[in-house]
Amino acid sequence: MLKARNIFKRPERPVEPESDTDSISDEEIDVVKEKTRRPKENNFTQQKLKAFHPIITPKYVIPIFVCLAVFLIPLGAAMLYGSNQVEELLLYYNDCEELANFDYFTDMPSDKYEAHFHDAVTIVPKWRYVVNESETDTAEQGTCELQFQIPDDIGPAVYYLYKVENFYANHRRYARSYSEDQLNGDAASLSTIKDTVGQNCDPLSQNDDGVKYYPCGLIANAMFNDTFSSLSGVNDTTTDYEMTTEGIAWSTNHNRFKKTKYNASEVVPPPNWAKMYPDGYTEENMPDISTWQEFQNWMQAPGLPTFSKMVMRNDDDVLPSGTYQVTVGMHWPVNEFNGKKAVYLTTRSVIGGRNPFLGICWIVVGVICLVVGLGFLVVHFLFRRKLGDVSKLSWNKDQ
């Protein structure tokens, strides 16, 4: 009789290999055990470093608030005083063609000028729109003549600027559209000014014929090109006030802007410069940006939509009181973006230009600190209680 085979035979237990530690000495085992990821026990890893834990009590809080008030209020008053010492005049001329008379001077509307002088302005600024017949381009013929009063002697120094409002030059595509190599005077290739990652002249790197623009980019193409005359005395009541364009740019620009190494045949002017260079560049009229300080000022892209750029200055002579006139050539349009532009005459103080906001801010914060400090002092004396009284804790009040 055949015996049945046991098909459910239990598998044999595999033989475990000998442990590596069997061949390791006791000294080596101690070394292996020491290799651990546990941090060392010290004051730093166990968060036992010494620390300063101030106890906030009226004894410390009240003097802190009072000291802040004593410091901030005089500081704010000094800054506000310095700001008020700045004398300035703003004349918005962007609507001159629409609102001013063509034949004679008329008063400017009250919303078209701002004046901050020690003495009150008694004569309202006047304007007149004049058509320059010698200019063949009808869009470039207009000039705005502005007459204004300086009620008291101002300066020195006296700064002559233009101010632009609602122009968002901080747009990323605009602010990065220039070639640093070109500004440094290098004869940069088309690939360099067009394909440099993060900063290139796109979309104004070359014209339709593939010729490089110089200077390329949106910033240079949009350069402010209104023209400004010096301050001329009116009706012989005052003499002309001489000003200069030297020193209107930052001194740090000396190392950034260099004369170009391009030949005139290698580059063309940007599209908006065509009226300045109707026949293109020649070896005689190639712009030297190392000395062109108006261009250097413009290439410093502002961070806010309202900004001003310097046109002329006089650091040595007082501007006498009297009536003056300036003539502005209107070439830079602002109506397309609902902007404004103005002639801006100003002086300076130890804190710079006129800006009362910071002084007012310090005074307000100082007054708040003083009120809070005195309030805490009154509460401390009228409602004195034991410090650190645990019975005042919310979970102990019902006990």
List, for residues 328-342, the tens digit of each pLDDT value: 998 898 988 899 999
167: Cα separation from own chain's centroid: 13
3-state secondary structure of 137: coil
- Is pLDDT of 135 > 70? no
Query: At what angle are helices 356-382 and 58-84 packed, to 10 degrees?
Result: 160
pLDDT band at 114 (very low <50, low <70, confident <90, very high): very high
User: What does DSSP assign to residue 392?
Assistant: G
The amino acid that residue 44 corresponds to is F
88 or 132, which is more confident: 88
Confidence of residue 382 (pLDDT cuts 50, 70, 90): confident
Instruction: Quote the CA–CA distance of 187 and 185 in Å, as a whole number.
Output: 7
pLDDT at residue 372, rounded to an integer: 94
Per-residue pLDDT tens digits for 39-90: 788 888 888 888 887 777 888 889 999 999 999 999 999 999 999 989 999 9
Three-state DSSP at 288 gives coil
Residue 28 has pLDDT above 60, yes or no: no
Question: pLDDT tens digits, residue range 85-111?
Answer: 899 999 999 999 889 888 889 999 999
Q: How confident is the model at residue 23 (pLDDT cuts 50, 70, 90)?
A: low
β-pairing verdict for 307-314 and 158-165: antiparallel
Does position 138 have pLDDT exceeding 70, yes or no?
no
Q: Is the pLDDT of residue 313 over 90?
A: yes
* Residue 73 and residue 65 in contact, taking contact as beta carbons nearer than 8 Å: no
Q: Which of 252-256, 273-277, 357-361 has the lowest mean pLDDT?
A: 252-256
pTM above 0.95?
Answer: no
Question: Under the phi-then-psi rule, with left for phi > 0, alpha for psi from -120 to 50, and beta for the rest, what region is 346?
Answer: beta
- Name the average pLDDT for the chain: 84
Does residue 321 surpass a pLDDT of 60? yes
165 pairs with which residues across the strands? 340
* pLDDT at position 8: 47
In one-letter notation, the amino acid at residue 183 is: L
Of 49-53, 167-171, 273-277, 369-373, the range with the lowest mean pLDDT is: 49-53
What's the rounded Cα separation, in Å, for the pair 75 and 147? 38
Average pLDDT over residues 171-176: 89
β-strand partners of 323:
149
pLDDT computed for residue 2 by the predictor:
44
Burial 159-187 (b: 16+ CB within 10 A, else e): bbbbbbbebebeeeebbbbbbebbbebbe
The gap from C-alpha 279 to its chain's centroid, in whole angstroms, comes to: 37
Other CB atoms within 10 Å distance of the CB of residue 197: 5
Q: What is the pLDDT of residue 68?
A: 94
What pLDDT sits at residue 80? 92
Mean pLDDT for 202-223 is 90
* 294: confidence class by pLDDT, cuts 50, 70, 90: very high
